[in-house]
Chain A
């Protein structure tokens, strides 16, 4: 145990309003968005890609960032939030340095995914699902089918896909992270 959950007292202050918000879409990143807009006949269609850029640049998608994206794509902040919250992959609060998603859907479930998940929660110090370890390094969440069922248990560590994880090789995999 020892993890903190978003919204709990310990982490609440981390993601309140930032008076000195630095726009994401400036310089190179702004040009990246402009190029993206040429792929689609509407500005709205660039919403998911734009949110991905925000998350890449900032690690999560804040309310301020949603407002910035809304302005860029001529949408309302409420609309953007409605989209952000529909999908599972946009973080609405800061997460650990390593965000770990563990597949526990049936095919992985019958191959020991629950044990893998328990081992990950223990060895990262997260303790519970969705919590960030006290050292800020890890957040572990359950994911529904990661689409690699033949290589149970697949996990994702940020953008990296790791296959065939089990309770016995968890410590080895974690120890290789810088």
Chain B
């Protein structure tokens, strides 16, 4: 349901090429579309050769941090006598982001192939695909694809007849945003509460089951087979602004926009054209007011900033935000920014694992203050308190959940201060909205 839309002529459908094509979900269908050629090729290469190709392509992590994938893989020391693990982060829960869901629903074998290549490259015989529990259809699709791949000998003890072992298991989460944080995911997979771990040690030294571990996002791994098939130069050529951002990227678009959905464009695509042309602009009769371009944890952009942005890692930073996970949330002029920021704070308060005081207390208190302002019961002093709390919540905890809560608050107050002040001086929401009790 809900998919596919017909790709826009300005899209570059590489990962999304087979979205909506039910036959691509099966092993045979996937092979007919060129699937598993890259795995066969990879198993004939040395891990170093694969890592060099990925380094050369410029591929960076698509989960949010944008760390260079080849470099991450090179941190794994081969021949250390320890079991290595690959974790696939399919706990997609960042508000505004729904691209990995689509990859797993329509092209599950693309992820099995990417995970198997990734595992081999880091010297791991086991890959775990950790999928959030709410993703029932992706879980079914990935489960079926893994089963088919085992039955056909594509993965398992003797992957593609090469004598190399690659086991892939699907692991179902149970409802916790924080498990998308890499070390929380590892704790969860080990059967523990999903509390993030202090770093160091970093996962490449002591990760899952205290063994050297690499964790990659679904979209990142799905790009890998294409790079091995077409070559790093082909991938690198998809770059229209910063040379540090290469390839195609899936953007999930939602909120107040004419055509929400997943769109794939090359790095450096103009954000203005993306919003108004590719995605059809604002709903009829409305104007855009603000955009959160990379999932709810990145700073809010004004339209002036958004319209000047080139869509890549550096381009979003240059215009006051971040590419993040590529989850684009659009707000039109009918929305109250105070209410939206209060709702985001409530999300983080709900999802805090509660082990760090700054996060446990900070997310709860900022939510209460924001909801108070939205109801028309705030004071000017509350704005200073919010900024002071936000400062205490940034860079002071084990993971960045509390930073993520502070980000929309700080950017919201600095860019939409008039809306906050109007609530306080008018003692009501000027837009007629009310925060949830």
Q: Interface on A for B, CB 8 Å cutoff?
A: 39, 41-42, 44-49, 51-52, 73, 75, 82-83, 86-90, 101, 104-107, 109-111, 114, 143-152, 156, 159-164
Contact = CB atoms under 8 A, between A and B. Distances in A.
Given A83-B193, A110-B331, A147 B97 contact: yes
Contact of B344 (A75, A106, A149): A106
A13 B432 CA distance: 44
Contacts of A146: 134
Interface in B301-344: 327, 329, 331-332, 335, 340, 343-344
B177 interface: yes
Contact of B136 (A44, A48, A107, A160): A160
A147 B192 contact: no
Interface stretch (B70-78, B250-258, B380-388, B393-401): B250-258
B136 A144 contact: no
Q: How many residues of B sit at the interface, in one of the four size bands? A: 35 or more
A150 B194 contact: no
Given A111-B255, A150-B2, A151-B1, 16 more contacts: A41-B83, A44-B192, A49-B171, A83-B192, A89-B134, A89-B174, A101-B134, A105-B343, A110-B332, A146-B134, A147-B101, A149-B96, A149-B97, A156-B134, A161-B137, A163-B2
Nearest to A55: B174
Contacts of B190: 42, 44-45
Contacts of A109: 340, 343
B96 A107 contact: yes
Contacts of A104: 436
B92 interface: yes
A141 to B, nearest CB: 11
Contacts of B95: 105-107, 144-145, 149
Nearest to B132: A147
A164 B254 CA distance: 12
Contact of A147 (B92, B171, B189, B329): B92
B347 A156 contact: no
B261 interface: yes
B169 interface: yes
Residue of B93, B132, B191 ringed by the most chain A CB atoms within 10 A: B191
Contact of B347 (A73, A145, A159): A145
B254 A150 contact: yes
A144 B350 contact: yes
B370 to A, nearest CB: 12
18 contacts: A48-B171, A48-B188, A48-B189, A52-B133, A52-B174, A83-B191, A83-B193, A89-B174, A90-B175, A106-B255, A111-B254, A111-B255, A111-B256, A145-B94, A147-B93, A147-B98, A150-B260, A161-B137
Interface in B120-173: 132-137, 167, 169, 171-173
B174 A90 contact: yes
A82 B137 CA distance: 28
Nearest to B350: A144
Given A89-B174, A107-B329, A111-B255, A82 B193 contact: yes
A4 B92 CA distance: 33
A86 B329 contact: no
Contacts of A111: 254-256
